[in-house]
Amino acid sequence: MKRTLVKEALNAAGPMESLLLQGWVRTRRDAKAFSFVEVNDGSCLKGVQVIVDATLPDYAQVARAHTGASVAVRGRLVASQGQGQKWAVVATGFTVVGEADGTYPLQKKGHTLEFLREIAHLRPRSNLFGAVFRVRSRLAYAVHQFFQERGFHYVHTPIITASDAEGAGDMFRVTTLDLEHPPRTPEGALDHARDFFGRKTFLTVSGQLEGEIFATALSNIYTFGPTFRAENSNTSRHAAEFWMIEPEVAFCDLAGDMDLAEAFVKHLIRDAREHCAADLEFCGKFVDPGLLARLDFVLERPFQRCRYTDAVEILQRSGRKFEHAVAWGDNLQSEHERYLTEEHFRCPVTVYNYPRAIKAFYMRKNDGEAPDRQTVAAMDLLVPGIGEIIGGSQREERLAELREGMALHHLPEKDYWWYLDLRRYGTVPHAGFGLGFERMLMFVTGVANIRDVIPFARTPGSAEF
Ligand code: 4AD
Ligand code: MG
């Protein structure tokens, strides 16, 4: 007999004579003449109520169906007598597939998120994590949908790389060298030439540079894959392994890039509102009461745009005592970003034209700015509750200016020969951005810690599972 998912059963158009459900017991309540067993299979937030009559030959099985056990139920789908649900199942057959005893950790409701992180192998069976990971799955689909419908091609950029895309140096090394007895050069240094790739290699921090290669061939491309950063920042918004979506568009400037970012973020929110309604309602009820109103508000209004220089002025005039004072030329700290989006603009805001010295080497130098206040065509999209979810820029397409930028950041040209070639052969203005997938999920679900929107978090000091 073909399995019916709980979601299909709960959404059935009419009663069903016979169906097979397979799932896990959430709760059981025994009365004199029958038992109620709530079965959830993760296909949706809700479980289905199964009524097992004490006269059923299989009834002896029910005593073994504790919370967490896996079961197979044959039965009829009938109109539910209880409130809140349209359908219930009257069992004609009931089998315990795998037992769970009293040590099953998800017994009671109301575990803390910290505790659930320690049992990340079981937490997907809880309501919250079921909801979060269904939303994650749906949004991954919506990412592809957004770009594919607009004629973008999906490019798989490498995970192992020899180049530092962001020039920030926070990279994980990839090596097969025997770390106890590494080969050494005559001078005593590590002999990278004898490593697997014959050179120093790392896990990528971004697929952008390779993305640019494909944008200058296929015009509109995007990447969507894991990225790795060895920043030792133990915050609620940083993970050492996270997923990033990076579109890259040929013949596009910064304004076009900001338009694309805004349309993309709105598409993802709209899609989740439509296709994950029950899961988001749950998040709105148990995670963040302001969630649904905030998402709808964000959908309805255009995002604000603000030059970095103006943002600094706003912050300086705010009268606010920030932990870090703001001066032109400094990076905006998370407290500044959040002031701008949460208190000043009270909506998502794209800050653009940042000082050249604090941004990556590949960003396009803005013409016509005073030399002591030189800026690049960079943009960061800031949202309430999180701060930066997108970082992007127009890329420097002029060979001479790119070389100047590399010299400024002390990057050796020989390592980027192919990147420079893109400016030698048929160069075009182009732009792109990176959306942190987990930060987007935090925004959409209201979940406050990045460790709770990725199945298995990798953070400093932690790589269990
Ligand atoms: O601003 P970032 O560093 O930009 C880039 O990597 C560019 N190459 C993107 C591009 O233009 N193609 O990172 C982009 C986004 C950030 O805005 C943030 O959402 C996310 O990636 N991000 C992180 N998310 C989780 N944990 C971390 N450690 C993250 N670092 C960046
Ligand atoms: Mg950034």
Q: What is the pLDDT of residue 233?
A: 85
Ligand 1: which of 204, 223, 242 to mutate, judged by most atoms within 8 Å of the beta carbon?
A: 242
Torsion on CA atoms 274, 149, 206, 451, rounded to nearest 10: 10
Ligand 1 atom closest to Cα of residue 168: 3
The protein residue whose alpha carbon is closest to atom 23 in ligand 1 is 436
Does residue 299 have a pLDDT over 70? yes
Answer yes or no: is the C-beta of 166 below 6 A from any ligand 1 atom: yes
Nearest ligand to the CA atom of 257: 1
Residues 348-369: pLDDT tens digits? 999 999 999 999 999 999 987 6
Q: What is the DSSP string of 209-246?
A: HHHHHHHHHHSEEEEEEEEE------STT--SEEEEEE
Residues 314-326: pLDDT tens digits? 999 999 999 999 9
Q: Are residues 147 and 76 in the same domain?
A: no
Q: How far from 39 is each of 21, 27, 65, 69, 279, CA to CA, in Å?
A: 8, 8, 10, 10, 17
| CA of residue 82 to ligand 1 center, whole Å | 48
| CA of residue 380 to ligand 2 center, whole Å | 7
Amino acid at 276: C
Cα separation, 39 vs 21, whole angstroms: 8
Q: What is the pLDDT of residue 163?
A: 85
Does some domain include residue 111?
Answer: no
| CA of residue 205 to ligand 1 center, whole Å | 8
Residues 155-212: pLDDT tens digits? 999 999 998 878 777 999 999 999 999 999 999 999 999 999 999 999 999 999 999 9
Listed residue (257, 252, 184, 255) closest to 219, CA to CA: 252
Q: What is the pLDDT of residue 232?
A: 86
The whole model's pTM is what? Answer: 0.97
Count of domains for the chain:
2
Cα separation, 314 vs 68, whole angstroms: 54
Answer yes or no: is the C-beta of 457 below 6 A from any ligand 1 atom: no
Of the pLDDT bands very low, low, confident and very high (cuts 50, 70, 90), residue 214 is very high
Q: What are phi and psi of 184, to 5 degrees?
A: -125, 150
- Burial class from Cβ neighbours inside 10 Å (0-12, 13-18, 19+) for residue 246 reads buried
| CA of residue 73 to ligand 2 center, whole Å | 50
Q: Are residues 416 and 363 in the same domain?
A: yes
| CA of residue 436 to ligand 1 center, whole Å | 6
| CA of residue 330 to ligand 2 center, whole Å | 14
* Mean pLDDT in residue range 66-92: 95
Q: Are residues 62 and 133 in the same domain?
A: no
Nearest ligand to the CA atom of 212: 1
Q: Are residues 76 and 141 in the same domain?
A: no
Residues 463 and 150 sit within 8 Å (Cβ to Cβ) = no
Does some domain include residue 253?
Answer: yes
Specify the 3-state DSSP secondary structure of 151. Answer: coil
Q: Are residues 71 and 140 in the same domain?
A: no
Ligand 1: which of 164, 232, 439 to mutate, judged by most atoms within 8 Å of the beta carbon?
A: 439
Does some domain include residue 371?
Answer: yes
Answer yes or no: is the C-beta of 436 below 6 A from any ligand 1 atom: yes
Q: How many residues does the chain have?
A: 465
Q: Are residues 159 and 40 in the same domain?
A: no
Q: Are residues 42 and 129 in the same domain?
A: no
Cα separation, 177 vs 388, whole angstroms: 37
Q: Are residues 51 and 89 in the same domain?
A: yes
| CA of residue 116 to ligand 1 center, whole Å | 27
Answer yes or no: is the C-beta of 458 below 6 A from any ligand 1 atom: no
Give 423's contacts (C-beta < 8 A, 6+ positions apart): 396, 397, 398, 399, 402
Listed residue (161, 153, 140) closest to 210, CA to CA: 161
User: CATH number of the domain that 242 lies in?
Assistant: 3.30.930.10
Does some domain include residue 196?
Answer: no
Q: Are residues 74 and 218 in the same domain?
A: no
Question: In the sheet where 304-307 sits, what is the strand order?
Answer: 153-154, 220-228, 241-250, 430-436, 387-394, 375-383, 349-355, 304-307
Residues 23 and 40 sit within 8 Å (Cβ to Cβ) = yes
Does some domain include residue 136?
Answer: yes
Cα separation, 244 vs 247, whole angstroms: 10
Does some domain include residue 107?
Answer: no
Answer yes or no: is the C-beta of 439 below 6 A from any ligand 1 atom: yes
Ligand 1: which of 244, 363, 444, 453 to mutate, judged by most atoms within 8 Å of the beta carbon?
A: 244
Q: What are phi and psi of 224, to 5 degrees?
A: -155, 100
Q: What is the pLDDT of residue 455?
A: 98
Dihedral sign computed on CA atoms, order 187, 192, 198, 199: negative
Does some domain include residue 84?
Answer: yes
The protein residue whose alpha carbon is closest to atom 5 in ligand 1 is 434
The protein residue whose alpha carbon is closest to atom 1 in ligand 1 is 391
Does some domain include residue 190?
Answer: no
Cα separation, 182 vs 75, whole angstroms: 64
Answer yes or no: is the C-beta of 350 below 6 A from any ligand 1 atom: no
Q: Are residues 40 and 153 in the same domain?
A: no
| CA of residue 434 to ligand 1 center, whole Å | 6
Cα separation, 240 vs 254, whole angstroms: 29
Answer yes or no: is the C-beta of 388 below 6 A from any ligand 1 atom: yes
Listed residue (366, 340, 160) closest to 255, CA to CA: 366
User: CATH number of the domain that 79 lies in?
Assistant: 2.40.50.140
Q: What is the pLDDT of residue 166?
A: 81
Share the mean pLDDT of the chain: 96
Q: Are residues 380 and 316 in the same domain?
A: yes
| CA of residue 451 to ligand 1 center, whole Å | 16
Range of the domain at 245: 125-170+205-452
Does residue 151 have a pLDDT over 90? yes
Answer yes or no: is the C-beta of 206 below 6 A from any ligand 1 atom: yes
| CA of residue 390 to ligand 2 center, whole Å | 7
Q: Are residues 75 and 164 in the same domain?
A: no
